[in-house]
Amino acid sequence: MIRFHLASTIVVVGCIIAYVSGVPLQDRQSSSSVATQLSQDFLTAEVHLHRKHARHSLEGKNKTHYEDPYTTSCQSGEVNITIVGIAGAICSPTCSVMDSCPKDKPPTVTAKAQCALQDMSGRKFCALICNPPDEKGNDDGECGENASCKAISGVGICTYDQ
């Protein structure tokens, strides 16, 4: 399970499970049992973590954190994250409460990097936090090229579009 430290309400999406390379980290739990385990500071969603799923690697490209996992492999210390119900994926660096997220982002990204994701084993990951799209689906482009801001309970997370 990944917890998002982003909202003051709890939203549980179906059964919750996280995978690393297809291996379950936690047995499936019912939504009601998961909800009772969470504090009010967490937003919960089903997330899949992948080792490498890039279509091709862009050798020689200046690498930054928060890259597009569809076009290049994630850096060491990053995980390719997809969120069930949210389109796209992103290379997400690991972080800790005391350790800030890397500030190097692709050149066109203005979204703020924040240590906002946590799995059941306690591993934390950075996310690019953005302003969710308006009612017409327009966002302000802060996620950069080939990415967009996806709304999740009133908060936005940048993911690259496939």
Angle CA 7–8–13, to nearest 5: 65
**How far is 41 from 77, CA to CA, in rounded Å?**
26
Digit-coded pLDDT (tens) for 70-94: 999 999 889 998 877 889 999 999 9
**Dihedral angle, C-alpha 1, 39, 77, 86, nearest 10 °:** 50
Digit-coded pLDDT (tens) for 15-65: 222 322 232 333 333 323 222 233 333 344 455 565 544 444 444 455 899
**How far is 155 from 105, CA to CA, in rounded Å?**
20
pTM greater than 0.75 (yes/no): no
Domain that holds residue 70: 2-160
**Domain count across the chain:** 1
**How far is 44 from 13, CA to CA, in rounded Å?**
7
DSSP 16: B
Q: Are 59 and 42 in contact (CB under 8 A)?
A: no
**How far is 76 from 93, CA to CA, in rounded Å?**
8
